[in-house]
Structures are given as structure tokens and as C-alpha cells.
A and B are shown apart, each in its own frame.
Chain A
Amino acid sequence: MSGNFSTPPTLVVVQLTGGNDALNTIVPYGEGLYYDMRRTVRIAQEDVLPIDDHFGFHPSMRAIKPFWDAGNMAIIAGVGYPNPNYSHFRSMDIWYTCEPDKIATDGWLGKTVHEIDPRAENVLTAVNFGRGLPRALSLAGVPVASVAQLDTYGLLTSLSSVPRRQSALEVFSCLYDDGWNDQGHPTEAPDTARPGDEVLRYMGQTGLDAQKGADILRTALGKYQSTVQYPNSSLAQSLKGIAQVKLADLGTRVFYTSLFGFDTHATQLPTHAKLWQEVSEGVAAFFDDLRAHDKADDVMMLIWSEFGRRVKDNGAGTDHGAGSIAFILGDHVKGGMYGEYPSLKPTDLTLGNLKYSVDFRSMYATVLDQWMHIESEPIVNGSFEEFAIV
């Protein structure tokens, strides 16, 4: 159902950095080959949270399983692209830019934001919770706020004395005056044109936008009231920040955050378990919070990772592989398993890795066309078969 919403649809993207082990996330516990290949790094049948008599969730996903039970979780298995790349950075970039064969710099979400807000009228159309800007959101001319922590976000945060910081922020907008007053006349008489002048003017606008964004974001905390308790983990706190901004109705349409640590070459069992507990509890708290405010209706979440991992374990962990698993969650999601869970038969593997069955661009296209109501082809660089997920 791609219905009409009273508020425009929002997308929350959660990146699992490092290459999440798909086989231990949605475990094919009914498949003998799984136990043959995974001698050590395996989830026992009795530990799995069953979906049916063949597949089940990793036991740490207890908090997120209710989404599946309620029919609000789409599991997309075997996600990838032709000629899988096993380098974190290269594979990430491929997922970010939808260009598996060449190096590109424009991110799919950057292009999405540009479609939503072509004149960048709302500097908070996209907000990233994390430092630096993932290339997924990168596009020249598209402003994105990168927030490490909402309560400390802002300009000149190092000025510790509160009155001094207040005074500094008042003065800041004069430092970045863009040179034009309300009547459209220049406030400063232009000198003999210096090469730096045009850049100064551009920076003026950028500075004012940054301050505007920071000011507006600051109001989000003030407006926030909730009884939902978020766990203390970094992902949960980032998701809390996202909830706070979402609930403040600032017009943000794309949220992004990531959790690092999925590159489990060693000590996978305890590490992977802890990570999925963090993800599950964080995501559960996030949706609880939105639902408590009756604002979950227009939110869809995409959870993805840049590749899966090797079918055979290495005794303590797993090495880079292909065939990732992705999740799409939300009240308007038609729950179910999509895509074909890759075969574990040795003859079906490539270099010991799962073969992909769903191109990640199909997933993006589905989310863009059916949820965001944005034409996907120019963004994902092609036409891809979609799912009826919404």
C-alpha cells in the first residue's frame, strides 16, 4: 500500500559496519550443511528463535523479533551485486554510490535529499548521527548535519562559560553575514573584487545555514518528553537522538546512523551476540518511543551491511564474504522473507562465499519508489525489480 500520509514519509538508515555475518543472523538451522560448514562459529538449534522449521533469528535478537511476529519486518536475504568486492571500503562505496564497476562520489541518499529539497531550503532535510559524512549522503550542494551527540551539538561548544558562549553565538551570525540585507542591497560596499570575495559570500551563507541548523536542532531536545528508556549503548543513544529530532517535526526526511564492529574475523560468537543485542534493543526502544507519541506511522527503517561473511568459519570467526542480509522495518511494511536465501551447497558457492540473489539496488529502488515516492532510476543508476514491501 503506497497510501497517502498526513506527514511525508521518513527513512531511517542503520549501517552495520564491517560485514555482518548473515548466516548467524537469520540462521538456516534446518539446513544440515550449515552445521557442517560452521564447526565452531554456529548457533545451536535450541538457541535459535524460530521463524519456521528452517530459519530462525540469532538468540540476541529477542527484542527485535516482535517486529517479525507483528508482520512489520521484511527480511531480504542474499543481497549483493555482481562481482562482489571483499574490501570494506570498496564495497561500502558501491552500496553508497550504486556504482559497482567504477569509483563514484555521489551518494544515493545525497541524490534523494536533493530530490526532496532541490533548493536546500531546509538544512535539516537529512541528519546523520555520527561524525564525518558517509558517502551515501554526499552530494555537492546538499547540506547534511552530522551530529555526534544532540545535547552537545552546536557551534563553539568549546567555550565552556555559558554566558560567554551565549554571547559568542549572538555574535556569530554577524561573522557570517552573507552581505545582503533584507532589501536585497549589499550591506558592505564591494571592494575592488578580490578573488576571495565570492568564496567569502558562499561561506557566509554556509555559516548562517550551519547556525540555523544548530539552533533548530537545539529546540528538539527542549520539546522532547518521553517515558521510554533507551539502553546506554552508542547505537541506542544515536537512535534516541534520531527520535528526538523526528518528534520535533523539523522536516527531516532522511536519518542515518551506523554501528561499527561487525568485522568478526575472530571472537565472533560473543562479539556478534553483543552487537545484535545492541541493535535489537536500540531499534525496539526507538520504535517504542515513536509509537508512544503516535508517530511511528511515517517511519521506515533500513538496516544493511556491506557484505556477508564466509560460509566456512576459521575456527574463531569468519572472513569476508558475500550475500548480505538486510532488514526493512516499519508499520507499513508487509512482513516476510524476500529474496532467495542463498544455497550453502559447495557447488553453489563462489570462492567459498554465498551467491547473491537480490541486487541491493532493488532494495533501494523499492524503498525510494514505494515508500519515499521518489523516482528511483536516476538515483540507483538503473531499473531494478522491486518488492511489494510497502
Chain B
Amino acid sequence: MVVAVRPPEARQLKGVELMAHLYRRAGFGATRDQLEAALARGYEVTVDELLHPELAPPLEEDLIYRYWPDMKESRQIDPAQSLWVYRMINTQRPLEEKMALFWHHLFATGFAKLNHAKVMTNQVAMLRRFGLGNFRTLLVEISRDPAMIFWLDNHTNTKRVHNENYGRELLELFSIGIGNYTEDDVKNCARAFTGWTLKPTIPAAQPYGRFDWEFEFRPDLHDYGEKMFLGERGRFDGTDIIDIIVRQPSTAQFLAMRLYKYFVSDTPDQSAIDQLANVGAESDYDIRSMLRWLFLSDEFQSEKAYYAKVKSPAEHVVGIMRLVEDFTFPKHGIRDIALECRYMGQDLMNPPSVEGWHVGKEWIDTGILVERINFAAAQVGDVGKPGVQKIVSRLRGMGELTPEQLVDACADLLGPLQLGDMTRAALVDFASKDGNLALTPGDRAAEERVGAMLSMIVATREFQLV
């Protein structure tokens, strides 16, 4: 008799695990209060809310700029980064902000070459505005984006002297990918984008500071000639090229792959990619529709996707700040928080090259790990922080806690976090040194024990995952 043995199916996540997973991936995490409220509404309702950020209030920008006028101008990269980190911490539209970060990873544009921070802030604002909409529209917008134009030299791409930089990267990195076009396609793509340039820029003279760069189409610089591109012939300009690009099946595959890897797991399942690509093609590249399918898919809700990725520095920093509920109002010190991302290897709006950051385990090295651990531990170890006080309150409500209960409760409230056996044993060992914990109100020493346990948990390698 032959017994067929099937490998165990990965279980589907549910309850608070699933909701926390959704908020971590579709946003920057959520507190236990927020998760409970979301659970009451239900998973699908929450997914739809996330997908419709316009239903939530936007950030009060005039408040931000009143306290931090340097951010409005963004003369330097530091205020621009501080502004974006503040937004990520405080947004009530987490998916909208996460999409801006997602697209920034893809359309990686770097301040180092631009030397102009405001145009980077403007580009991120554009990614925020168009990030959940139509991919074709987004490709047009990024092609017209002044920061991108300068970054990939398209302002020097004219009918007399071509510059293929943007034309190439549009195909190689931003859509169909290597192997799906020829060098002639690159050449003609570049020709189509000639004349997509910048209005003459105003020099950065003090005291007027920086003026925004603006897109300008220069017909006198444009190559109106006939072009062959991906098998089609015509007097194409940039918009026509993008229309042809989105007609390619490889575009659907590319987009599905990028979304899947970012939101689900670094080791994609080809059949899931194919299905997602289909959703893309059928919805005319509506990102919202693709994400809806994704978040409601079995793959996303599977245990195999759970904590399957390494947190980027931005997710790590912003996640911790949202957890401790600090910087909910403009105050001194936001720059130090923003700089943490830089120290951890993600200089926002200044990726090392157009290929963007190397993700996954490449986010981690010895120096970065020390920075990640120390930052997170210092934040959650500060029992005065509102978010930490909320955790203390919840623990107090559980009565006297044994070391095991303390570890499990803290790991639950920080996630819920999945701890390996050795990790859990080590944490219990640490807690056992002080015996049982009774959190009587006003007992500062007892609260410090909670702070210390939270510090240890955020120091674990499990906590580096998302």
C-alpha cells in the first residue's frame, strides 16, 4: 500500500496576528488599541479602509511648518527627511505613506546628485498622490518629475544629442526589465523623451534660497521622427512609449513581482505572481485593485508570509515611534529620529544609486545591528513614553506575572511577536533574575522592569523582521 504524504499546509493567520501583520506590511505597524479597534471592524473592512486613504484626514501641514519652517523650504536634506519621518509617524493614511516609500524604493532618486532637497520632497509628494492609482499615470508622472529628469540626465536628452539614461532605466528598472527589449528599443525610447526637460532653473542665490524645478516640454528639442519600439512603429513621444510599455505582459509581471516581494515575501510564488499580474492587466493597472487582491489572498494571510521579511530602517524607526506614541506633535528632536534611518543604512531620498537599496538580509551588518538595537531599546525602555505606559497598564491588568508570563505578554503586545525557543528561554532567564512582577500603581521600579524586558525583546533578531 502506498501512502501519499502531503507536506503540511501552511496555516492561515487570523485574529490579532493577521491584523498586526496587515498593519506592519500595509503601514508601519499599530498599537494594541488600534489593532483591537480594527478587529472589531473586521479584516476586509480594514483592508478597504487602508486602500482608501482619502477617507482619513490628511496631516495638518500648516501646523508642521509653523513649528518647523525649515521643512517647508527643505533647503537641506535633513529637514526634508525629518518631514517625511514625521509624516510616516503621524499619518492616518498609512498605506498611502507606505506606497510613497514603496515607489521611492523603485524610482530611486538621490539627493546627492540633485543637491536640491525640495524637489525630492516634491517627488515624494507626487508618489503619495498617485501611488495607489493607475500605474500608467504614475509612469507619466515620474517621467515628468523634475528630480527624476535631472537624476537621469533627461534634461540633456535632445534631438541633436541623445542621452539614453532615462530611456534605458525606464525599461530596465521601472517596467519591463532586462531581456524584454533591445538596444534599439532603448535608443528609440530615449528619442521619444527628447525635450522632456526642466524650465530654466533659478540659481540658488541667498537670501531667496531654492526655487522648485518645473517640468517643461520643449518642442524645439524634441525628435518628432518615426520610431520603432517593441515592434510598433510611429512618431512616438514619451506618453506613447508608456502606453506601449503597459501593453506588454512583462510589465504586468514586473509590477506583480515588485508588489509581491515588497508586501508578501522575498521568495515569491510564481503562480501567485501570475494571478496578481492578471489582476493588474484586467484592472488596467489599478494599483489599488492589485493590492486588494494581494491583501485578501491566501498567500498574504499565510504563515509563510508572517515575519518573512527584514524590516527596512524606515519601517524599524517609524514602527518603534508609532508604538511608543512619541512625536505626535512637532517638537525638538525629530531630526535625530530621522537621522537614525541614515545611520541604519537608509538615507531617505538619497539612495546610493538608481537601483535603490539592497534589501533583505543586506539591510543588516554588525554596525547597523548595534544601531537598530540601541535605538529601539532606548525608546521602549523609556517607561515615561505614552505608548509604553499603555503597555504597562495592560500588563498591570493581568495581575502578578511570572517571568514566563511577563515575557509572553510583552512579546504579544510588541507584535504579537514570534519568538524562537532559545530566544524565549533566554528572555525568561533574564526576567527570572528579579522573580515575579507585581505592577502596583506608582511602583516605578516595577515599571522599569517592564521597560527592561521590552528593551530586550526589541533587541532580538526576531524583532528585526516584519
- The one of A90, A168, A171, A199 that contacts B361, using a Cβ cutoff of 8 Å: A199
Which residues of chain A are near B362, meaning CB under 8 Å?
Answer: 140
- The one of B303, B370, B464 that contacts A155, using a Cβ cutoff of 8 Å: B370
B378 at the interface (CB under 8 A from A): yes
Return the CB mask of B437-466 against A: 1 if under 8 Å, else 0. 000000000001000100110011110110
Surface stretch bound by B, among A157-165, A277-285, A341-349, A361-369: A157-165
Among B112, B339, B370, which residue has the most Cβ atoms of chain A within 10 A? B370
A210 touching B366, Cβ below 8 Å? yes
B266 touching A214, Cβ below 8 Å? no
Q: Knowing A132-B342, A145-B366 touch, does A171 contact B462 (C-beta < 8 A)?
A: no
Which residues of chain B are near A180, meaning CB under 8 Å?
Answer: none
A93–B111 CA distance with the chains assembled, in angstroms:
12
The residues in B between 45 and 98 inclusive whose CB is less than 8 angstroms from any CB of A are none
Interface size on B, residues (CB 8 A): 62
B217 at the interface (CB under 8 A from A): no
Which residues of chain A are near B307, meaning CB under 8 Å?
Answer: 196
Which residues of chain A are near B464, meaning CB under 8 Å?
Answer: 203
B378 touching A158, Cβ below 8 Å? yes
B361 touching A203, Cβ below 8 Å? yes
A171–B425 CA distance with the chains assembled, in angstroms:
10
A155 touching B462, Cβ below 8 Å? no
A177 at the interface (CB under 8 A from B): yes
The residues in B between 410 and 429 inclusive whose CB is less than 8 angstroms from any CB of A are 420-423, 425-427, 429
A209–B364 CA distance with the chains assembled, in angstroms:
12
A87–B116 CA distance with the chains assembled, in angstroms:
10
A159 touching B377, Cβ below 8 Å? yes
B433 at the interface (CB under 8 A from A): yes
B308 touching A144, Cβ below 8 Å? no
Which residues of chain B are near A177, meaning CB under 8 Å?
Answer: 422
Surface stretch bound by B, among A46-54, A186-194, A229-237, A240-248: A186-194
Which residues of chain A are near B430, meaning CB under 8 Å?
Answer: 167-168, 171
A202 touching B364, Cβ below 8 Å? yes
Which residues of chain A are near B333, meaning CB under 8 Å?
Answer: none
A292 at the interface (CB under 8 A from B): no
B377 touching A158, Cβ below 8 Å? yes
B360 touching A206, Cβ below 8 Å? no
Which residues of chain B are near A71, meaning CB under 8 Å?
Answer: none
- The one of B112, B310, B459 that contacts A175, using a Cβ cutoff of 8 Å: B459
Q: How far is the CB of B76 from chain A (nearest CB, A)?
A: 11
A192 touching B367, Cβ below 8 Å? no
Q: How far is the CB of B168 from chain A (nearest CB, A)?
A: 13
A194–B430 CA distance with the chains assembled, in angstroms:
27
A172 at the interface (CB under 8 A from B): yes
Return the CB mask of A195-235 against B: 1 if under 8 Å, else 0. 11011101110110110011000000000000000000000
Q: Knowing A132-B343, A192-B7, A207-B461 touch, does A200 contact B420 (C-beta < 8 A)?
A: yes
The residues in A between 171 and 188 inclusive whose CB is less than 8 angstroms from any CB of B are 171-172, 174-177, 187-188
The residues in B between 320 and 353 inclusive whose CB is less than 8 angstroms from any CB of A are 339, 342-343, 345, 350, 352-353
B366 touching A203, Cβ below 8 Å? no
Among B111, B265, B343, B354, which residue has the most Cβ atoms of chain A within 10 A? B343
A105–B357 CA distance with the chains assembled, in angstroms:
10
Which residues of chain B are near A203, meaning CB under 8 Å?
Answer: 361, 364, 369, 461, 464
Which residues of chain A are near B367, meaning CB under 8 Å?
Answer: 128, 133, 143-146, 210
In the complex, what residue of chain A is closest to B114 when comparing beta carbons? A87
B113 touching A103, Cβ below 8 Å? yes
B365 touching A206, Cβ below 8 Å? yes
A135 at the interface (CB under 8 A from B): yes
Q: How far is the CB of B448 from chain A (nearest CB, A)?
A: 7
In the complex, what residue of chain A is closest to B464 when comparing beta carbons? A203
Which residues of chain B are near A145, meaning CB under 8 Å?
Answer: 366-367, 370
- The one of A89, A105, A167, A200 that contacts B350, using a Cβ cutoff of 8 Å: A89
Q: How far is the CB of B253 from chain A (nearest CB, A)?
A: 21
A272–B303 CA distance with the chains assembled, in angstroms:
59
In the complex, what residue of chain B is closest to A152 when comparing beta carbons? B374
Q: How far is the CB of A120 from chain B (nearest CB, A)?
A: 9
Q: How far is the CB of A196 from chain B (nearest CB, A)?
A: 5
- The one of B366, B425, B433, B456 that contacts A143, using a Cβ cutoff of 8 Å: B366
A388 at the interface (CB under 8 A from B): no
B381 at the interface (CB under 8 A from A): yes
B370 touching A210, Cβ below 8 Å? yes
Residues of B within 8 A of A (CB): 7-8, 110-113, 115, 265-267, 303-304, 307-310, 339, 342-343, 345, 350, 352-354, 358, 360-362, 364-371, 373-374, 377-378, 381-382, 420-423, 425-427, 429-430, 433, 448, 452, 455-456, 459-462, 464-465
Closest 9 pairs between A and B when the two form their complex, measured CB to CB: A89-B112, A174-B426, A158-B378, A203-B461, A143-B366, A132-B343, A195-B308, A210-B366, A146-B367
Residues of A within 8 A of B (CB): 87-90, 93, 103-105, 123, 128, 131-133, 135, 140, 142-146, 155-159, 161, 164, 167-168, 171-172, 174-177, 187-188, 192, 194-196, 198-200, 202-204, 206-207, 209-210, 213-214
Q: List 28 A-B contacts (CB under 8 A).
A: A103-B353, A105-B352, A131-B343, A132-B371, A133-B367, A140-B358, A144-B367, A145-B370, A146-B370, A156-B373, A156-B459, A161-B448, A164-B452, A171-B427, A171-B430, A171-B456, A172-B459, A174-B425, A175-B427, A175-B456, A175-B459, A176-B461, A188-B421, A188-B422, A194-B303, A200-B461, A206-B366, A214-B370
Beyond A167-B433, A200-B465, list 18 extra A-B contacts (CB 8 Å). A87-B113, A123-B366, A131-B371, A132-B342, A133-B367, A143-B366, A145-B366, A145-B367, A161-B448, A168-B455, A174-B426, A174-B429, A175-B423, A194-B303, A198-B361, A200-B462, A210-B366, A210-B369
